[in-house]
């Protein structure tokens, strides 16, 4: 008999192992990887929390089901007319029950534990916000950390109680129907309620009494929860509890809760005494109260509130404004009036030279396109993105574009797509490209300061290790330190090779080779002679997947950016703590609380991933730090050089801009009337194209009233449904100013050109629009760059780069002209400096301007223009030749000859 049980048990274990084989393998791989990256304790926090929660729930469920079954068993036997059960049958019944109870209890306990482990940890590790809600006087932490768990457990218990009643009733009716069927008792079609009531009471009266009373008590708790949830009510004119919620719904909820408690006592006694009338009366009373709440609320809302809405809703609108501003961290914005007087002098221009020299004339999209055509070097490299950053280069504070050159395995073709190539040879990207945002070459192309492979570096920024094993496009695993050399970079007709010697990776022992062969479904792990015991496999190399796997409870910015520091490459990803449970706060994109409390820094070579808390005042981040004490580090332990490259995240800034469009209004009456609604300014990318929202721009500038230049993220606001600009919103990010925000409000009665209006002004200028019209035909098109509106003292300087693209297949946009606007003046020039010289009637010092090639000072403006036209004619002729358009080629050469003839005169 023992051998039989042993065999059955063994078979059962084997079946389970086969069913869950993939999960077991994945679990082992996860343990090895989390151990390798140093976050095994984070991984086990979840597992241990689930196990700790499962054990007591399993015991409670098992004992509860056992007691409930035991109490019902006698009734089932009696109803089934079973007088005696043999010991053999009884033993079999026990075994079946134990097995079924174990499986059901395990399933339910695992489901609850895996669903609610995190909420329980948050409940146990909640951190006070220091802000109380205006209705219940509870700290916001109750709503963010505790109420979600209470709601979840309430739902789980209600489902369980309802299931118990359903199981009991189904058991009774099944057994009763079976008896009638076998006895042939089908006399009469009328169901006698009295007989059914008596039968159910005899069958499971005590059980139903207890369960029904518990359901009634849970309804009471449910209305307590519903009362707490009025802080999220959408009923009024603003999100959160309204006048009707407070004066009708809340009192009704409290009355219903008390009535449900009284009903629980009545139902318990009535079920035991087989009396239906008190039960029906109790249920009807509760239903009447529920329906009454809805009806009274509708009447009060429509006949009292709507006719006196401003006066009655004013305190609740004020709550919504205050709590929304706190939740989205826009309550401490420094607001300043900005009276645009445009009274700059040439001395002001010279004293703000650092700001002017950093005005961005390169735009993101054309620059990325140029990078991917000119600097990929080989077809299997690509630039996924361009990042904006700032560096002290050769003693000067400069804003730059930085783009990492990553390996793109999807571009390998034909015989190159072997397993060995994809995972052993083409393992990493190489180097970065850097160009100034404020200057272009004589051809109108990005002005590189770091380029090519190996890096041609004209800056003092040290880069010792340019290899990128972890990035945005490294979606496949790589095996390093094998007997096959890894491709490093092309060197003439040969390839430079390398062997990975970094810290990342899991050693490829024989057992690990077997493990990954199974996990990746690839026998090459075992057959390859290039893999040795010293080889290491690098997995989860995509930096976004990497951080989400380590800390899935954080939200992440969509734009990781690369930093050069200490001769190495690092990725920085902004991480957000979010919630949708902040009381009275208006939700945006399904969240109503957000903070940028965490910065993640990833070594592009070693894969070291570190989470740094940068906002110690965020209660959500503090709660996470309690739950995962080994995950977070203090930002002060990070090198100052990397901290100097922290950017204010654009995703957070965009959310705050959307909120600020309405919630800059702090007066409840103005807010209610919507008198001063804003919207993000709109712009155009091409002549005649549809308008689209302007994207916030990073720029180095000296904000009005400040003494030095700094990097700021700026956005422009228009009046709602109008194109007149009403405000300039900026987020600061340099050193101690990180996270500080400033809002400059323009006088509403004055016309301030928004990006779109400025483009319309350009199109209406006779001389400029004529030039644009000529460029925008005959095989080329005009593309607008990013409109930069730069505040200088009490004035605004407008800069609009003009790109021209030929119609050829592989043509590249080139920045050919710059439109500079100031006050009522508008000039089309080859550089900002030249335009400012004409506007302010001064001569620049003898030096190369940052945004144009140098031209001898003895050449007059007319001569400069002809030289520029000659260069353009030549460039167009070359482009036409590349595209095989010989007719155009002849036209451009003829034009060039005419210009040269004029110059020769």
Sign of CA pseudo-dihedral 420, 422, 427, 432? positive
| pTM for this predicted structure | 0.86
- CA angle in degrees (0–180, nearest 5) for 369-373-379: 125
Question: Is the confidence at residue 438, as pLDDT, over 80?
Answer: yes
Task: Give the number of other CB atoms < 10 A from CB of residue 343.
Answer: 10
Q: Who's near 449: CB < 8 A, 6+ residues apart?
A: 393, 400, 434, 435, 436, 457, 458, 459
Angle between helix 21-37 and helix 2-19 axes, rounded to 10 deg: 60
* pLDDT tens-digit readout, 553-594: 999 999 999 999 999 999 999 999 999 999 999 999 999 999
Task: Give the number of other CB atoms < 10 A from CB of residue 303.
Answer: 9
What is the rounded distance in angstroms from the CA atom of residue 527 to the CA atom of residue 533?
14
* pLDDT tens-digit readout, 694-720: 999 999 999 988 888 999 999 999 999
* pLDDT tens-digit readout, 217-242: 999 999 999 999 999 999 989 999 99
Tokens at 27, concatenated: 């679990």
Give pLDDT, residue 904.
Answer: 62
Tokens at 493, concatenated: 């007709």
Give pLDDT, residue 209.
Answer: 75
* Integer angstrom CA distances of residue 523 from 515, 528, 618: 11, 9, 49
Question: Is the confidence at residue 195, as pLDDT, over 60?
Answer: no
Give pLDDT, residue 796.
Answer: 95
Q: Are 399 and 698 in contact (CB under 8 A)?
A: yes
Q: Give the pLDDT mean for 122-149.
A: 95
Q: Give the pLDDT mean for 435-455.
A: 91
What is the rounded distance in angstroms from the CA atom of residue 803 to the CA atom of residue 716?
23
* pLDDT tens-digit readout, 815-863: 989 999 999 899 999 889 989 988 888 665 544 445 544 444 344 556 6
Q: Who's near 560: CB < 8 A, 6+ residues apart?
A: 472, 543, 544, 571, 572, 573
Give pLDDT, residue 690.
Answer: 85
Question: Is the confidence at residue 182, as pLDDT, over 60?
Answer: no
DSSP 637-689: GS-HHHHTT----HHHHHHHHHHHHHHT---HHHHHHTTT-EEE-EE-SBTTP
Give pLDDT, residue 175.
Answer: 56
State the DSSP H helix or E strand holding residue 577, giving kind and residue range, or none if neither: strand 568-579
Residue 395, SS3? coil
Give pLDDT, residue 842.
Answer: 67
Give pLDDT, residue 905.
Answer: 57
Give pLDDT, residue 19.
Answer: 78
Give pLDDT, residue 185.
Answer: 52
Question: Is the confidence at residue 739, as pLDDT, over 90?
Answer: yes
263 Ramachandran zone, left/alpha/beta (phi>0; psi -120 to 50): alpha
Strands (DSSP E) contained in 768-840 are 780-784, 788-792, 795-806, 814-822, 825-829
Q: Where are the domains of the chain?
A: 1-37, 158-327, 542-647, 666-834, 855-905
In this prediction, residue 188 has a pLDDT band, given cuts at 50, 70 and 90, of very low
In this prediction, residue 101 has a pLDDT band, given cuts at 50, 70 and 90, of confident
Question: Is the confidence at residue 332, as pLDDT, over 60?
Answer: yes
């Amino acid at each position: 008999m023992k051998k039989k049980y042993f065999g059955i048990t063994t078979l059962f274990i084997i079946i389970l192992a086969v069913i869950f084989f993939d999960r077991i393998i994945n679990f082992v791989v996860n343990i090895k990887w989390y151990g390798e990256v140093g976050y095994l304790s984070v991984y086990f926090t979840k597992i241990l929390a689930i196990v700790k929660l499962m054990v007591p729930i399993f015991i409670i469920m098992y004992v509860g089901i056992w007691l409930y079954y035991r109490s019902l068993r006698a009734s089932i036997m009696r109803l089934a007319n079973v007088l005696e059960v043999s010991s053999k049958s009884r033993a079999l019944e026990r075994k079946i029950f134990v097995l079924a109870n174990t499986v059901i209890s395990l399933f339910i306990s695992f489901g609850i534990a895996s669903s609610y482990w995190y909420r329980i940890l948050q409940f146990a590790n909640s951190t006070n916000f220091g802000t109380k809600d205006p209705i219940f006087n509870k700290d916001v932490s109750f709503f963010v950390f505790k109420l979600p768990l209470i709601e979840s457990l309430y739902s789980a218990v209600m489902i369980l109680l309802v299931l118990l009643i359903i199981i009991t009733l189904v058991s009774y009716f099944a057994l009763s129907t079976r008896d009638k069927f076998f006895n042939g008792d089908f006399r009469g079609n009328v169901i006698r309620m009295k007989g059914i009531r008596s039968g159910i009471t005899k069958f499971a009266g005590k059980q139903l009494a207890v369960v029904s009373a518990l359901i009634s008590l849970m309804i009471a708790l449910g209305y307590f929860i519903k009362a707490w949830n009025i802080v999220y009510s959408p009923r009024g004119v603003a999100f959160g509890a309204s006048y009707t919620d407070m004066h009708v719904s809340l009192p009704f909820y409290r009355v219903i809760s008390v009535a449900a408690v009284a009903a629980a006592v009545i139902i318990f006694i009535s079920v035991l005494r087989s009396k239906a009338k008190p039960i029906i009366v109790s249920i009807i009373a509760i239903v009447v109260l529920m329906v009454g709440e809805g009806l009274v609320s509708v009447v009060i809302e429509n006949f009292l509130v709507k006719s006196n809405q401003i006066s009655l809703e004013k305190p609740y609108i004020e709550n919504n404004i205050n709590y929304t501003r706190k939740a989205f961290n826009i309550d401490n914005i420094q607001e300043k009036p900005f009276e645009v007087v445009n009274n700059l002098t040439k001395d002001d221009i010279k004293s703000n030279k650092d700001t002017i020299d950093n005005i961005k004339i390169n735009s993101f999209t054309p620059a990325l396109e140029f990078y991917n055509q000119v600097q990929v070097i080989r077809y299997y490299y690509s630039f996924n993105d361009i990042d904006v950053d700032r560096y002290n280069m050769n003693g000067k504070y400069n804003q730059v574009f930085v783009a990492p050159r990553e390996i793109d395995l999807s571009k390998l073709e034909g015989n190159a797509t072997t397993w060995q190539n994809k995972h052993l040879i083409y393992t990493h990207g190489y180097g970065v490209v850097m160009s100034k945002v404020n200057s272009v070459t004589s051809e109108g192309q990005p002005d590189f300061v770091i380029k090519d492979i190996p890096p041609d570096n004209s800056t003092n920024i040290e880069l010792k290790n340019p290899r990128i094993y972890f990035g945005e496009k490294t979606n496949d695993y790589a095996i390093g330190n094998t007997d096959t050399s890894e491709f490093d970079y092309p060197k003439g007709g040969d390839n430079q090779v390398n062997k990975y010697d970094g810290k990342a990776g899991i050693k490829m022992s024989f057992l690990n080779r077997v493990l990954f062969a199974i996990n990746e479904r690839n026998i090459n792990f075992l057959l390859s002679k290039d893999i040795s015991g010293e080889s290491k496999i690098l997995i989860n190399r995509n930096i976004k997947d990497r951080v989400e796997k380590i800390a899935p409870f954080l939200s992440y910015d969509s734009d990781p950016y690369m930093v050069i520091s200490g001769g190495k490459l690092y990725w920085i990803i902004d991480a957000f703590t979010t919630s949708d449970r902040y009381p009275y706060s208006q939700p945006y994109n399904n969240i109503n609380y957000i903070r940028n409390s965490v910065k993640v820094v990833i070594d592009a070579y070693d894969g070291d991933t570190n989470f740094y808390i940068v906002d110690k005042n965020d209660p959500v981040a503090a709660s996470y730090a309690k739950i995962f004490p080994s995950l977070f580090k203090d930002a002060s332990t990070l090198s100052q050089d990397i901290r100097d490259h922290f950017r204010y995240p654009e995703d957070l800034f965009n959310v705050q801009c959307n909120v600020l469009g309405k919630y800059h209004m702090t007066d409840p009456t103005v807010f209610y009337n919507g008198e001063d609604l804003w919207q993000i300014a709109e712009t155009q990318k091409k002549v005649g194209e549809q308008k689209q929202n302007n994207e916030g721009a990073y720029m180095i500038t000296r904000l009005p009233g400040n003494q030095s230049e700094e990097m700021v993220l700026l956005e422009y606001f228009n009046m709602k449904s109008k194109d007149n600009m009403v405000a300039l919103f900026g987020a600061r990010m340099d050193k101690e100013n990180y996270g500080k925000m400033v809002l400059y409000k323009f006088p509403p009665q004055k016309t301030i050109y928004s990006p779109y209006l400025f483009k319309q002004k350009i199109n209406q200028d006779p001389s400029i629009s004529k030039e644009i019209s000529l460029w925008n035909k005959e095989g080329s098109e005009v593309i607008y760059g990013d409109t930069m509106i730069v505040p200088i003292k009490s004035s605004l300087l407008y800069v609009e780069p003009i790109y021209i693209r030929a119609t050829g297949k592989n043509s590249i946009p080139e920045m050919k002209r710059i439109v500079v606007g100031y006050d009522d003046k508008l000039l089309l020039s080859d550089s900002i400096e030249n335009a400012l010289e004409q506007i302010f009637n001064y001569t620049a010092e003898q030096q190369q301007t940052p945004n144009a090639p140098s031209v001898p000072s003895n050449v007059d403006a007319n001569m400069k223009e002809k030289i520029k036209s000659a260069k353009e004619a030549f460039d167009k002729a070359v482009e036409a030749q590349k595209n095989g358009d010989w007719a155009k080629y002849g036209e451009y050469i003829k034009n060039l000859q005419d210009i040269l003839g004029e110059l020769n005169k």
